[in-house]
Amino acid sequence: MDCSVQSATKSAISKVSSATMKRRGETAEERKTRKAAIKMIRAERRAEKKCNKLTFKEERKKAASCCHGSIIRMMPIV
């Protein structure tokens, strides 16, 4: 998966909660498909989380290298 921004109409919470709803008397096949959907959602979330971590790490490095060695002078407020 790439780190592109996806326009999703549903929030992550609503996707997860609707996928985990177990209906009474579900068959084994329905259970398998529900479990597979949950597994896929979790994998997507892990990939998104990893992408966010990498992005923030890169931004932190950029900010540190940009301001490395510069002294910030502040004027006291009177």
Domain ranges of the chain: 13-66
Question: pTM of the full predicted structure?
Answer: 0.56
Along the 78 residues of the chain, how does pLDDT read in single tens digits?
Answer: 555 545 454 455 556 666 677 788 889 999 999 999 999 999 999 999 999 999 999 998 888 777 666 666 778 887
Buried residues in 11-27 as b, exposed as e (16+ CB within 10 A): eeeebeeebeeeeeeee
**Would you put residue 10 in left (φ > 0), alpha (ψ -120 to 50) or beta?**
beta
